[in-house]
Amino acid sequence: MIIFLVATSTAATAWLTVRQANEQLTKSSPADPDDVAAAVAELAGYGRAHGTWHGVDATVRALSDRLGQRLRLVTATGTLLVDTDLLGGGVARPVTGEAAVVDPRPPMPAFTAWTGETRAQLGAEIVTGYMLGWPRAACLTRLGVPVRLTHPKLELPVFEPVGDQKRHPECDRTTANDKIAMQAVYAQTGLCAERGDQDIDCLQLIFTREIDRAAPEETRLFVGAVDATPRTIPNGSIALAAGAVMLAAALTALLIGRRVTRPISALTVAARRLGSGDLANRVPVTGRDEIADLAREFNRMAASLADSEERERRLIADIAHELRTPLANLRGYLEALADGVLRPDPELFASLHEEALLQQRIVDDLQDLALAEAGALAYHRTTVDLAELVEVCRTAHAAVAEAAGVTLTADAPVPVDVVADPDRLRQVLGNLIRNAVAATPPGGRVTLSVGDGPIIRVADTGRGIVADDLPHMFDRLWRADRARSNADRSQGGSGLGLAIARRIVTDHGGTIEVTSAVGVGTTVKVALPRAEV
162 close to 146: Cβ distance less than 8 angstroms = yes
Q: Which domain holds residue 299?
A: 238-309
233 vs 159, higher pLDDT:
159
Look at the chain and count its residues.
Answer: 533
Alpha-carbon distance 370 to 530, whole Å?
A: 28
Alpha-carbon distance 480 to 489, whole Å?
A: 13
Lowest mean pLDDT among 122-136, 196-210, 347-361: 347-361
| Domain identity same for 471 and 509 | yes
End-to-end CA distance of the chain: 65
Q: Is the pLDDT of residue 244 over 90?
A: no
Give pLDDT, residue 518.
Answer: 92
Give pLDDT, residue 238.
Answer: 67
| Domain identity same for 70 and 126 | no
Give the number of other Cβ atoms within 10 Å of residue 46's Cβ.
22
Contacts of 30 (CB under 8 A, 6+ apart): 97, 224
Residue finishing a domain among 276, 309, 342: 309
Strands (DSSP E) found in 376-433? 382-385, 407-411, 417-420
Alpha-carbon distance 190 to 184, whole Å?
A: 10
Give pLDDT, residue 285.
Answer: 80
Alpha-carbon distance 116 to 125, whole Å?
A: 15
Give pLDDT, residue 257.
Answer: 63
137 close to 50: Cβ distance less than 8 angstroms = yes
Give pLDDT, residue 385.
Answer: 93
Instruction: Produce one character per residue of 502-519: b if its CB has 16 or more CB atoms within 10 Å, e if not.
Output: bbbbeebebebebebeee
- pLDDT over 70 for what percent of the chain? 82
Highest mean pLDDT among 138-142, 239-243, 422-426, 443-447: 443-447
Give pLDDT, residue 332.
Answer: 83
Alpha-carbon distance 244 to 96, whole Å?
A: 40
| Domain identity same for 85 and 115 | no
Alpha-carbon distance 255 to 337, whole Å?
A: 81
Residue type for position 188: Q
Mean pLDDT of 100-110: 91
Give the number of other Cβ atoms within 10 Å of residue 345's Cβ.
8
pLDDT digits (tens, 9 = 90+) for 30-86: 678 888 999 999 999 999 999 999 999 999 999 999 888 889 999 988 899 999 989
Task: Output DSSP code: residue 125.
Answer: H
- CA nearest neighbour of 244 among 4, 2, 5, 6: 6
Find the CATH number of the domain harbouring 484.
3.30.565.10
Q: Is the pLDDT of residue 291 over 90?
A: no
Is position 155 within any domain?
A: yes
Give the number of other Cβ atoms within 10 Å of residue 496's Cβ.
24
| Domain identity same for 285 and 387 | no
Mean pLDDT of 224-252: 67
| Domain identity same for 205 and 242 | no
Lowest mean pLDDT among 19-23, 255-259, 517-521: 19-23
Q: Is the pLDDT of residue 523 over 90?
A: yes
Lowest mean pLDDT among 215-219, 444-448, 449-453: 449-453
Alpha-carbon distance 316 to 478, whole Å?
A: 13
Is position 140 within any domain?
A: yes
Alpha-carbon distance 264 to 22, whole Å?
A: 44
| Domain identity same for 521 and 386 | yes
| Domain identity same for 10 and 75 | yes
Give pLDDT, residue 110.
Answer: 83
521 pLDDT tier (thresholds 50, 70, 90): very high
| Domain identity same for 522 and 386 | yes
Is position 478 within any domain?
A: yes
Q: Is the pLDDT of residue 533 over 80?
A: no
524 close to 514: Cβ distance less than 8 angstroms = yes
Is position 315 within any domain?
A: no
| Domain identity same for 67 and 139 | no
Is position 355 within any domain?
A: no
Outline where 276-385 has alpha helix (H): 290-339, 346-373
**Chain mean pLDDT for the chain:** 82
Give pLDDT, residue 333.
Answer: 78
Is position 145 within any domain?
A: yes
Task: Output DSSP code: residue 527.
Answer: E
| Three-state secondary structure call for residue 525 | strand
Give pLDDT, residue 489.
Answer: 44
- pLDDT over 90 for what percent of the chain? 31
Give pLDDT, residue 448.
Answer: 96
Q: Is the pLDDT of residue 457 over 90?
A: yes
Give pLDDT, residue 344.
Answer: 83
Residue finishing a domain among 289, 309, 329: 309
- CA nearest neighbour of 123 among 47, 115, 134: 115
Give pLDDT, residue 115.
Answer: 79
Q: Is the pLDDT of residue 492 over 60?
A: no
Mean pLDDT of 509-526: 93
Give pLDDT, residue 30.
Answer: 64
| Domain identity same for 436 and 488 | yes
Are β-strands 382-385 and 147-153 bridged in parallel, bridged antiparallel, or unpaired?
A: unpaired
311 vs 402, higher pLDDT:
402
Tell me the C-alpha to C-alpha distance, in Å, between residue 365 and each of 420, 491, 496, 504.
20, 15, 6, 12
Mean pLDDT of 275-281: 79
Residue finishing a domain among 43, 68, 102: 102
Alpha-carbon distance 35 to 91, whole Å?
A: 25
Lowest mean pLDDT among 357-371, 417-431, 444-458: 357-371
Q: How many structural domains are present in the chain?
A: 4
| Domain identity same for 92 and 137 | no
Is position 533 within any domain?
A: no
341 vs 17, higher pLDDT:
341
| Domain identity same for 65 and 190 | no
Is position 322 within any domain?
A: no
